[in-house]
Amino acid sequence: MNKPTQLSNMQVRDAQSVLHPYTALHTLDDTGSLVISEGKGVYVYDSHGKAYIEGLSGLWCAGLGFGDEELIEAGKQQLDKLPYYHLFASRTTEPAVELAEKLKEIAPVAMSHVFFTGSGSEANDTQIKLIWYYNNALGRPKKKKIISRVKAYHGVTVMTSALTDLPVVHGDFDPLLDKVLRTDCPHHYRFGLDGESEAQFLARIASSLEELIEKEGADTIAAMIAEPVMGAGGVLVPPEGYFPAIQEVLHRHDILLISDEVITGFGRTGNMWGSQSLDIKPDLVSCAKQLTSAYAPLGAVMVPEHVMDVLKAQSEKHGVFGHGYTYGGHPLGCAIGVKAIEIYQKRNIVEKVRNIAPLFEQRMKKLDELPYVGETRCLGLLGAVELVRDKPGKTSFEPKSGVGAKAAQFAMEEGLIIRALGDSLALCPPMIISEAELNELFDRLERALARTADWIAREKLALASELI
Q: Read off the pLDDT of residues 242-271 as tens digits, 9 standing for 90 and up.
A: 999 999 999 999 999 999 999 999 999 999
Pairing status of strand 221-226 against strand 416-417: unpaired
For the segment 289-301, the average pLDDT, to the nearest whole number, is 98
In CATH, 70-346 is 3.40.50.970: no
CB contact at 8 A, 296 and 95: no
Which DSSP helix (H) or strand (E) runs through 96?
helix 94-106
Pairing status of strand 419-421 against strand 424-427: antiparallel
Q: How many CB atoms lie within 10 A of CB 138?
A: 12
| Cα distance between the two ends of the chain | 29
Mean pLDDT rounded to a whole number for the chain = 96
For residue 337, pLDDT beyond 60? yes
Pairing status of strand 416-417 against strand 51-54: parallel
The CA distances from residue 47 to 2, 31, 34, in Å, are 12, 15, 8
CB contact at 8 A, 298 and 96: no
Q: Where are the beta strands (DSSP E) in 193-307?
A: 221-226, 256-260, 284-287, 299-303
Spatial distance between the Cα atoms of 237 and 187, rounded to a whole number of angstroms: 7
For residue 4, pLDDT beyond 60? no
pLDDT value, residue 5: 57
Spatial distance between the Cα atoms of 329 and 314, rounded to a whole number of angstroms: 22
Q: How many helices (H) and strands (E) does the chain have?
A: 17, 15
Cα angle 45, 343, 38 (rounded to 5 degrees) comes to: 10
pLDDT, one tens digit per residue, over 94-104 is 999 999 999 99
For residue 467, pLDDT beyond 80? no
Q: How many CB atoms lie within 10 A of CB 125?
A: 24
Amino acid identity at 111: M
Phi, psi of 325 (to 5 degrees): -125, 145
Amino acid identity at 465: S
pLDDT, one tens digit per residue, over 140-162 is 999 999 999 999 999 999 999 99
Same topology, domains 34-67+348-466 and 70-346? Answer is no
CATH class assigned to 34-67+348-466? alpha beta
Question: Domains of the chain: which residue ranges?
Answer: 34-67+348-466, 70-346
Q: How many CB atoms lie within 10 A of CB 139?
A: 7
pLDDT value, residue 462: 78
For residue 405, pLDDT beyond 90? yes
Residue among 163, 96, 153, 139 nearest 324 (CA): 96
pLDDT value, residue 1: 43
User: Which string of b and e fits 267-286 if b means at least 16 CB within 10 Å?
Assistant: bbbbbbbbbbbbebebbbbb
